């Protein structure tokens, strides 16, 4: 009896793990999900670092929240300059789409679109 219950639990756990790890594809000109259920759309937008991404960093990630301010020891460290953000862009993208970041506060759909689409378009210093 105990073996049957244990085997059943292992099978159910395996199914849950495999289905939870599936990902949808994403495209820079279309939209998609990042595997964590966060959707985005890059249709008709061309975000710029200075005009679109930096203000998100200032209000959500670094200065107002202090999570990624200068001298931060949080995972990801400081995110106050283009160089810091560019070096960590893949991780930032994954964290946003997984719904893990921001840890405190919220990020709007427009902010998600701007950040992800800027990264997907090559993360230019513009």
- Asked if residue 15 belongs to a domain, the reply is no
- Asked if residue 14 belongs to a domain, the reply is no
**In terms of pLDDT, which residue wins out, 30 or 89?**
89
Task: Please count the structural domains in the chain.
Answer: 1
- Asked if residue 100 belongs to a domain, the reply is yes
- Asked if residue 80 belongs to a domain, the reply is yes
Confidence band for 73, pLDDT divided at 50, 70 and 90:
confident
Domain region containing 75: 25-120
Helix, strand, coil percent values for the chain (each to nearest 5): 45, 5, 50
Tell whether the model's pLDDT for residue 122 goes beyond 90: yes
Say which DSSP state 117 is in: H
Q: Are 31 and 39 in contact (CB under 8 A)?
A: yes
Confidence band for 88, pLDDT divided at 50, 70 and 90:
very high
- Asked if residue 48 belongs to a domain, the reply is yes
- Asked if residue 75 belongs to a domain, the reply is yes
- Asked if residue 90 belongs to a domain, the reply is yes
């Amino acid at each position: 009896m105990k073996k049957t219950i244990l085997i059943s639990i292992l099978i159910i756990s395996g199914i849950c793990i495999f289905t939870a790890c599936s990902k949808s594809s994403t495209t820079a000109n279309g939209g998609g999900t990042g595997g964590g259920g966060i959707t985005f759309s890059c249709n008709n937008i061309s975000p710029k670092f200075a005009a679109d991404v930096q203000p998100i960093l200032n209000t959500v990630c670094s200065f107002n929240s202090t999570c990624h301010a200068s001298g931060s020891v949080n995972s990801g460290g400081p995110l106050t300059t283009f160089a810091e953000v560019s070096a960590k862009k893949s991780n930032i993208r994954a964290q946003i789409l997984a719904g893990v970041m921001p840890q405190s506060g919220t990020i709007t759909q427009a902010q998600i679109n701007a950040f992800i689409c800027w990264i997907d378009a090559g993360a230019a210093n513009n």
